[in-house]
Amino acid sequence: MNIKTDVSIVRMEEYTPEEAKRALTEALAPFGGLDWVKEGMKIAVKVNLLTARKPEDATTTHPVLVCALCEMLCERGAKVVVGDSPGGLFNAAFLLPIYKITGMASVEKAGATLNDNYRERDFHFPGAVKMKDFRITEYLLEADAVINFCKLKTHGLMAFTGACKNLFGAIPGLKKSECHYLFPKTEDFADMLVDICEAIKPVINIADGVVAMEGNGPTVGTPRKLGALLAAENAHALDLAAGGLMGLTTKEAPTLSAALRRGLIPESVKELNIQGDYNSFVADDFKIPPIRPIKSWGSGNPFFSDLLESLLANKPHVLRDKCVGCGICLKRCPAGAITMRKNRPVIDRKKCIRCFCCQEFCEREGMVVRRSFLGWVVYHR
């Protein structure tokens, strides 16, 4: 009897068109390859285009992989659109430079088109735990199928970016700030991300871990070669396997913890049926942001629970020797907790909701995530 594959992982040493097509074909094979694609089908490829960074910075999904996938889809007669809605305005003026600098504009030579539909729609998802109604980018709703192509990297708030977190890009531009403000608690925000992922339900999820990102991700961490390309039908199963490569468990990554609570994944990566030599890709020394076990502290008393959270929580900190005073953190802060003094950001801790948008969008490494002293003592690892 054949055992269903949960996740496949294949080795890919370099970003070349030949290697990309070979690795994608091998990674998708356990799920029937692309046999599900029919001529004339509209397929949206949701990539990670966080900000205008070059491919070698490992901030965004690598264009060589996306181009190879688009060619494979177009060869089957599909109509392919590639897009994302990173933080900022959801319009052509904001996105066209990002398409160009990230190298994503090259997908047009592969037969695909870059998304130029900047309309939004209201969307209702009755199966949600936290957010049943939200605004979503229309191009994803117009597609017959969505392929979720994420970049494997660290993240200040969610510990890492994978398939589930990548679909936050379905929320149009500045609407993301509203989500941070509505769900300031890490666990609630993670539940909201799982809601979005389950609402969109990609037909396949692929993770670019050929060159991943460690350290101060998701924008200006350090590129780290893993040589791994992962694929799965279940976004959360992919994330469980991908997180495991970085040393993360369901107790440490909020989206994995949320998916586990809903029964979408098992508790351990060891319970997944993984095709490929998984252990050969595991990086025991992968540098991740400060984390804490999810819900390991708490109380039936909300006041006591919130007090512990404030004492132990990670917080954003300004590195004044690296900050250039650009003010991007001021613009991205959904809580209005940042002001500029003497051309440097100052964080109002009473207003700060610890969403780490300031750290996420700082392109000069001027903002980092740090533990409190008490948090370091309790959670040091």
Residues 6+ apart with CB under 8 A from 286: 214, 224, 245, 246, 247
**pLDDT at residue 297, rounded to an integer:** 46
Query: In terms of domains, do 85 and 135 share one?
Result: yes
Residue 113 lies in a domain: yes
pLDDT-flagged residues of the chain (< 50): 296-299, 377-378, 381
277-to-8, 32, 124, 233, 307 alpha-carbon distances in Å: 9, 20, 40, 19, 44
**pLDDT at residue 312, rounded to an integer:** 63
Residue 154 lies in a domain: yes
**pLDDT at residue 296, rounded to an integer:** 45
Round to whole Å and give the CA distance between 81 and 352. Answer: 37
Query: In terms of domains, do 18 and 92 share one?
Result: yes
Query: In terms of domains, do 217 and 346 share one?
Result: no
How far does CA 183 lie from the centroid of its chain?
17
145 is written with which tokens?
């199928």
115-to-90, 140, 276 alpha-carbon distances in Å: 11, 10, 34
Round to whole Å and give the CA distance between 111 and 284. Answer: 40
Residue 222 lies in a domain: yes
Query: In terms of domains, do 186 and 242 share one?
Result: yes
Query: In terms of domains, do 130 and 68 share one?
Result: yes
**pLDDT at residue 370, rounded to an integer:** 80
Residue 194 lies in a domain: yes
One-letter-per-residue 3-state SS of 32-44: CCCCCCCCCCEEE
The DSSP code for 169 is: G
pLDDT in tens, 7-54: 999 999 999 999 999 999 999 999 999 999 999 999 999 999 999 999
Q: Is 77 left (phi over 0), alpha (psi -120 to 50) or beta?
A: left
Domain count, the chain: 2
**pLDDT at residue 375, rounded to an integer:** 52
**pLDDT at residue 213, rounded to an integer:** 98
Residue 208 lies in a domain: yes
Instruction: Find the CATH number of the domain harbouring 351.
Output: 3.30.70.20
Residue 381 lies in a domain: no
Query: In terms of domains, do 326 and 228 share one?
Result: no
**pLDDT at residue 315, rounded to an integer:** 85
Among 130, 267, 266, 152, CA closest to 199: 130
- Asked if residue 63 lies in contact with residue 104, where contact means CB atoms within 8 angstroms, the answer is yes
Query: In terms of domains, do 270 and 314 share one?
Result: no
347 is written with which tokens?
């964080």
Instruction: Find the CATH number of the domain harbouring 128.
Output: 3.40.50.11440
Give this prediction's pTM: 0.92
What residues make up the domain containing 256?
7-281
Residue 378 lies in a domain: no
Residue 362 lies in a domain: yes
